[in-house]
Amino acid sequence: MAFRLLVTDDLSPEAVELLRSVDDIEFDVIKGLSPEQLAETIPGYHGLMVRSSAKATAEVIAAADELQVIGRAGVGVDNIDLQAASERGVIVMNTPGANTVATAEHTMALLLGMCRNVPQAAASLSSGKWERKLFKGTELRGKTLGVVGLGRIGRRVARRSRAFGMEVICFDPYLSDDRAHEMHIERVSFDELLERSDFVTLHAALTPNTKGLIGKEAIAKMKPGVRIINAARGGLIDEDALIEALQSGHVAGAGLDVLTKEPPDMDNPLLHMSNVVVTPHLAASTQEAQREVGMQIVQQVVDALHGDDFRNAVNMPVVDRHVLKELRPFLGMAERLGSLQTQLAEDAITKVEVSVEGEVIDDYIKPITVAILKGVLEPVPTGSVNYVNAPHVAIERGIIVAQTTGLHTTDYPNIISCRVEWDGGTRTAAASLFSHDEPRIVDVDGLRIDVIPEGTILVTVSHDEPGFIGKVGTMLGELGVNIATWRTGRSEPGGYAVSFISVDSNVPDETIERLSKTDPIERITKVHL
């Protein structure tokens, strides 16, 4: 049987030649397809290979009667409807490591170009001017570089920066101190990084939690004269706040490869400021990276169609599609359980223990553990975490993973329990599935509870005292925040209590700060599930 593959974007000549060399692969290259045109074209194809221009929408995937795998030649999969693909049993894979070196090197190019005014000086000289005094630069040696996100790219930037004589500190809440120490990097809080850094470089994924990470408040905590580099995602920076700080001089310079809107409006001030070096999303645009990404995705898609390997699959915990269909609700629940544990942990998680009980899931602790790890690591601000690489990312971050028994004994027919440890603390939480498809958090540190793990939830630890609900409800009501549900587990009347307060809209950080000072709250955390 021959497999048919549709390619919608350019591939390197080497990648095309690799496709031609596979005997049972027939492929067509059709570029510039709109989603509607792609939906009309896709029937009969077993594989789809895209970059960023083509969009594999739910309608496209519904029309793909033979589709088995979608390969994204690159990292981000925003142009692929992952939920629709998963529901149809279509494997989605990307190439997260192919452009690592190219992006790290471009970050260094921005760093050096910004410090020495290279593009501005070159432009000045090309226009016939000789303005040596105007372009006095600054050295890297002896300066402090703050790396936000110590994933594959962040680690390479840190290593190269140390070679320039820089002191490197990092903020990565999902990295253990031991792992940071092994790399000769000091792990600090986000606020400390802002306060100490002469340069701040961003290597974080764009998530609801990291959007606008560098905004007016963050910039105010930075040293006067700080310089900012971003070759990750444009939305990490509040551009209005950055422009204001560049104009005032609080931020001395910026090196940007990504912008919030791409292509940008040509009247964007960042394109015309003398203290900004900006490039049109070039970080991965090297001959070597483009060749590597094309070769990788071709080999991955071919191997997946042959059933030989499923590396870098972003949505596939098990190979057997029938098992996957049965397990999918449990896997989604396990991800949320892991995410909850990470968001509630008071420091970087160093150990994860998983236990499963129940006739449906007893034999599948391994994929469930992987799903929990994906949830634990997904907030990691350093790139995509999927069912294939989650165990490896955990190892990279020094997290010990154990599959155990007896974490929980309950009356639920199927239950997933997860115990996490961090420096100075531990928490056990458990989840069960109601009516085959309704996930619930049912236990937190031995306290019975019934929580739907979705949306924005305020989690409080408090003493069980009269009037507590009224105080919190009044404060939220004054802000126009509606409480959807309120679930509490307590040790005994008047004892220790944990409350999960689901709200219909976001709660500002300043409100969380006010609530944290309200008796009898001991701790309050905002989580997103």
d(CA 399, CA 347): 12
Give, in order, the Cα–Cα distances in Å from 66 to each of 20, 69, 472: 21, 10, 53
C-beta of residue 83 within 8 angstroms of C-beta of residue 90: no
Which residue in 46, 233, 408, 440 is the catalytic one? Answer: 233
Whether 14 is catalytic is no
Residues in the chain: 529
Q: Give the residue from 252, 194, 388 showing the smallest Cα distance to 310.
A: 388
β-strands 425-434, 400-403 pairing: unpaired
d(CA 310, CA 334): 21
Whether 427 is catalytic is no
Strand partners for 426: 421
Q: Which tokens hold the place of 529?
A: 């599930």
d(CA 525, CA 505): 15
C-beta of residue 486 within 8 angstroms of C-beta of residue 499: yes
Helix (H) or strand (E) holding 148, with range, is strand 144-148
Q: What is the CA radius of gyration of the chain?
A: 25
Which residue in 281, 291, 487, 490 is the catalytic one? Answer: 281
- Chain centre distance of CA 409: 34
The number of beta carbons lying within 10 Å of the beta carbon of residue 54 is 26
d(CA 418, CA 250): 45
Strand partners for 202: 148, 230
C-beta of residue 190 within 8 angstroms of C-beta of residue 222: no
Burial class (CB in 10 A: 0-12, 13-18, 19+), 292: buried
β-strands 456-463, 521-528 pairing: antiparallel
d(CA 315, CA 325): 12
d(CA 493, CA 241): 48
Strand partners for 27: 5
Whether 106 is catalytic is no
Dihedral sign, Cα of residue 251, residue 253, residue 258, residue 262: positive
C-beta of residue 156 within 8 angstroms of C-beta of residue 108: no
Which residue in 132, 141, 262, 492 is the catalytic one? Answer: 262
d(CA 391, CA 352): 11
C-beta of residue 48 within 8 angstroms of C-beta of residue 67: yes
d(CA 408, CA 389): 28
**Cβ neighbours of residue 110 closer than 8 Å, sequence gap 6 or more:** 229, 231, 255, 256, 257, 277, 279
Tell me which residues are annotated as active site. Answer: 233, 262, 281
